[in-house]
A and B are shown apart, each in its own frame.
Chain A
Amino acid sequence: AQSVSQHNHHVILSEAASLELGCNYSYGGTVNLFWYVQYPGQHLQLLLKYFSGDPLVKGIKGFEAEFIKSKFSFNLRKPSVQWSDTAEYFCAVRSNDYKLSFGAGTTVTVRA
């Protein structure tokens, strides 16, 4: 079974700052990669996904992620965050067993 590591437990930054959240996984085969976001009081929502093709994927709300196969990484980025980006972010990986394995999550707090 694969494991998923998110490097930061809690990130605090100011509005307009750039955000990068790290995600690494352990599985060496074909994977599907996802980033989900959970805003305060809301349910998990899909931010973006990678199945194949261009390793740079764009998601909703200005987020993007880059899949680097050699590094087993799928880092999430946003050039300029807003207060409304305050949320918990989860990286998830799915391999041939179809189970979706989640990282521990990163809480992002954006200060106005």
Chain B
Amino acid sequence: KAGVTQTPRYLIKTRGQQVTLSCSPISGHRSVSWYQQTPGQGLQFLFEYFSETQRNKGNFPGRFSGRQFSNSRSEMNVSTLELGDSALYLCASSLVGSRSLAGSLRTDTQYFGPGTRLTVL
């Protein structure tokens, strides 16, 4: 089974521009989560999508947004780029994601893609 794929792998942008990153989950996985990894802040949760709906959100400004398509592929968009947005952006997929309709904590595992290295100049 193919793993999580992310495109592009590397991206260079300038301040003020916007960028769109793409993530294709493992086949059959319906949940996609995004993380930002930087040397100073480590790995931080951005948001999670499940069945085309944002189910969870981290503490990032509104410039960071995302969406999920009916085939579970997800895109992340960052508008008005700042120097501090330079980071490795990781996508992770899992079977189900957030808690079930019954409210119990689902016990699935997130599998990570290789990431997109974004450099903002």
Contacts and interface: CB of A to CB of B under 8 A. Distances in A.
A57 interface: no
A33 to B, nearest CB: 11
Report the contact-size class of chain A (Cβ under 8 Å from the partner).
Answer: 20 to 34
Given A32-B107, A49-B109, A102 B48 contact: no
Contacts of A44: 90, 92, 112
Interface in B40-69: 42-45, 48, 55-56, 58
Nearest to B44: A102
Contact of B105 (A90, A98, A101): A98
B112 to A, nearest CB: 4
A45 B92 CA distance: 11
Given A32-B105, A44-B90, A98 B112 contact: no
B99 A43 contact: no
A104 B58 contact: no
A69 interface: no
Contacts of B48: 98-99
A36 B112 contact: yes
22 contacts: A30-B105, A32-B107, A43-B112, A43-B113, A43-B114, A44-B92, A46-B111, A49-B109, A51-B107, A52-B107, A90-B43, A95-B105, A96-B105, A98-B97, A98-B98, A98-B105, A99-B48, A99-B56, A100-B45, A102-B43, A102-B44, A103-B42
